[in-house]
Amino acid sequence: VCTQQELSPCKSLPETLLFQLLGLSIATLSTVTHYGLRFTLISNISLDSNAYKVIHHTAFYFGICLSMTLILAALLSSAATVRESQCLTAMGFFCFALAFCGLIPAACWRYTHSTEVEDSMMDVYDFVYEEVRRNTSSFRRHELTAIHEAFLCCGKHSPFGDTTNVESKTCPPDRVHDEGQDCLQEIQDFLKKHMDFVFSLLGIAIGFTVYGMFLTSFLWFSIHFSSNLYRKGKYILR
């Protein structure tokens, strides 16, 4: 139960928990994306000329930094409310503003490069598949088999003719003759769902950071004017 004097810290508790939960959600999604079997497999196979490896690592570090910034902003805002500190409030506002400045370019990049992640991932599969089709390299065949097992798909529709020989050597036995298991389509569908979820989380994070900036601004002005009112009417004899 909150007393009248403790009302402000208690009201800030739900907001603090929401920001911490959002930060943990972003950190969890970044970790799953970076260390997930499908993403790690494609990243290890991709060549240096392919953009996927850069995107893969950049997204992970950006997500971790963003989550730490949001959690720190929530902790600073909570401490500022309890201690009524203008300095801590300003630091909380700075953290929210920093997160906002990172989220806006990320959302814009996703909007303007809506298919770059999907295209780069499918390019990796295309490269491995064609390498196996041309020279049946045992190393590339092992990589192609791992992709088929990870994405639960089998081969692709190739313009170069019959691909049964490649699929029979790299697909799981129960999927060699399956229809509708084109790996390019499976990869595209999987990534589209994943990136739509990432984009939704980015939108939620932008909304919360804007709310956080308004909240810390209101708190800073409240503390500032309250401290001025406490000094009002007090005199010092000289």
Give 58-69 as a DSSP string.
HHHHHHHHHHHH
CB-CB contact of 93 with 217 (8 Å): yes
Name the residue range of residue 36's domain. Answer: 9-117+141-152+202-228
Q: How many domains does the chain have?
A: 1
Q: Is residue 219 part of a domain?
A: yes
pLDDT tens digit string along 141-181?
899 999 988 998 888 876 555 556 777 777 877 665 555 46
- The whole model's pTM is what? 0.80
What mean pLDDT is predicted for residues 189-208? Answer: 92
How does 12-40 read in b/e, with b if 16+ C-beta sit within 10 Å?
Answer: beebbeebbebbebbbebbeebbeeebbe
- Which amino acid is it at 224? H
Q: Is residue 88 part of a domain?
A: yes
- Which amino acid is it at 212? G
Q: Is residue 133 part of a domain?
A: no
Nearest C-alpha neighbor of 76 from the set 8, 20, 24 = 20
CB-CB contact of 88 with 201 (8 Å): no
**Residue 171, pLDDT score:** 82
| pLDDT band at residue 232 under the 50/70/90 scheme | very low
With residue 124 as reference, give the H or E element that holds it.
Answer: helix 116-135
Q: Is residue 130 part of a domain?
A: no
User: Cα separation of 71 and 138, whole Å?
Assistant: 47
Q: Is residue 164 part of a domain?
A: no
Q: Is residue 209 part of a domain?
A: yes
